[in-house]
Amino acid sequence: SERVPTEAEAEAGPAAAMMRPLLSRFAAAAPHAFEEPAGRWQGAAPAEVLAAVGRNFVASDEPLGSTLHAAPHELVALSAGTLRHPDTTHAAEEAVFHFLTRGADGEAAAANDAVRAGERAWPPPPPSQRLHALLAVLAVSILLAVVAVMLRAA
């Protein structure tokens, strides 16, 4: 967790003196960011948390979402699908927001563990595959309902 330097630290060093006012404003705006993590992350080093729940989309000629680095306890690196660094944010936008959605659902660490285990990070199953699966479940449900009605009538 981040913390605001104490007055003594600010008096002892120029870096702490420079950062104290800025971090004080950040702490006022986002106090939870300055609290000690609870649960799974309690006592964890920031680098450990970042490696667990963060991803780095980097300039690469590999297709978007291709795994470039996925070592245990290290930040997962995925291709942004472009060689030009200034274009990485725009090129990886869809994959980034997909991952952020998973993070908001508490699934970021599990998603990264899956990449480390060899699963593809991107793309997710196409909507047509999800639709076919949903239609198959719906068809089976309707079939079971029809069978149940026929058995009651018999």
Single-letter code of the amino acid located at 27: A
pLDDT digits (tens, 9 = 90+) for 26-40: 999 988 888 887 788
Residues 78 and 56: beta-carbon distance below 8 Å: yes
The values of phi and psi at residue 70, to 5°, are -150, 45
pLDDT digits (tens, 9 = 90+) for 56-98: 999 999 999 999 999 999 999 999 999 999 999 999 999 999 9
